[in-house]
Amino acid sequence: MIEFSVVIPVYNGSKSIEKLVESIENELVNNTFQIILVNDGSKDNSAQICRGLSQTNKNVKFINLRKNFGEFNAVICGLSFVEGKYGVIIDDDFQNPPSEILKLYKKAEAENLDVVYSYYDSKKHHWFRNLGSKAINYLTTFLLKKPKDLYLSSFKIIHKDIISEIIKSRSPHPYIDGLIFQVTHNVGKQKVEHKSRNHGESNYSLKKLISLSLSIIFGYSLLPLRLTFFAGFLSIIFALFYMLLYAFSIIPEWGSPIVIFMCGVLLCSVALVGEYIGNTFLILSGKPAYIIESIHQSKTPID
């Protein structure tokens, strides 16, 4: 049985992917493993390099997507091809040394955990990404009910049973950690090393931060709807209370402010419900999370 399936979403990683694959092979030489490379519409020659790796290495499977669908979509695609007992997700930028994979594995095995997240003493990301990570951490703690001290790192190990459940998602905008916490809370964390990026620049941006935040809010929790109902209920109580005080001439007429307030609550409520309806429409319309252009793998089976 294959012990590890290492899933690597690749986007413009031509300068690092060969060294990363070589390093994984060296670190896991005493284990049975497969490496799943998913090219997410790279604009450089990552596809050609990944194809070459799959043709010369029996442990490497290469999946080429038709266009850029996003990191989480590429990961979901890669997880769909996991054959090992565990799936390991690692970025293509070499900031997480492959030597740390075994630390995650030993933690999962020793404590019988479904998922083990990595965490760092010192993160080498750009300050904006670190700030965004903190914002997402607070949001997910509130909405997903995750432990406050758990950092949702992209570098993690997931048991095959959990993978089998989360790949059932039909959302065109999957959020891996949201799917994980819908299935299990049997998770742990392991300290690992984190290095500075040697090549290229981070693709993390304000647009992606906002998009991810909206996906978490409207894709994995009903709390916004409940808060909107609560706000609407309070506005009704406020309006009735005002009418009562005005009827007894206790306060002057505040017609315009109340109308503006009620209209604001109404517009926010309509927009919020629209987000949920829109997400439901995308799922029901069959919009795919990813489209595979081709799959490449050496014909020599894994030992």
Q: E strands, the chain, where? A: 4-10, 33-39, 60-65, 86-89, 115-119, 156-159, 187-191, 292-297
Say how far apart CA 137 and CA 150 lie, in whole Å.
8
- 115: exposed, middle or buried (Cβ count in 10 Å: 0-12, 13-18, 19+): buried
- Range with the poorest average pLDDT among 67-76, 93-102, 177-186, 240-249: 240-249
- SS3 of 119, please? strand
Which residue type sits at 302?
I
Tens-place pLDDT, residues 33-60: 999 999 999 999 999 999 999 999 999 9
Contacts with 90 (C-beta within 8 Å, 6 or more apart), sequence order = 6, 7, 8, 20, 96, 98, 101, 154, 155
pLDDT of residue 29: 92
Residue with the bigger pLDDT between 227 and 95: it is 95
Question: CATH second-level architecture of 4-218+288-297?
Answer: Alpha-Beta Complex (3.90)
pLDDT band at 132 (very low <50, low <70, confident <90, very high): low
The answer, as to whether pTM is greater than 0.75, is yes
Radius of gyration of the chain (CA): 23
Asked if 44 and 73 count as a contact pair (C-beta separation under 8 A), the reply is no
Which residue type sits at 244?
L
Say how far apart CA 36 and CA 293 lie, in whole Å.
15
* Biggest CA-to-CA distance, the chain: 88
pLDDT band at 180 (very low <50, low <70, confident <90, very high): very high
pLDDT of residue 194: 73
Residue 156, phi then psi, degrees to nearest 5:
-155, 165
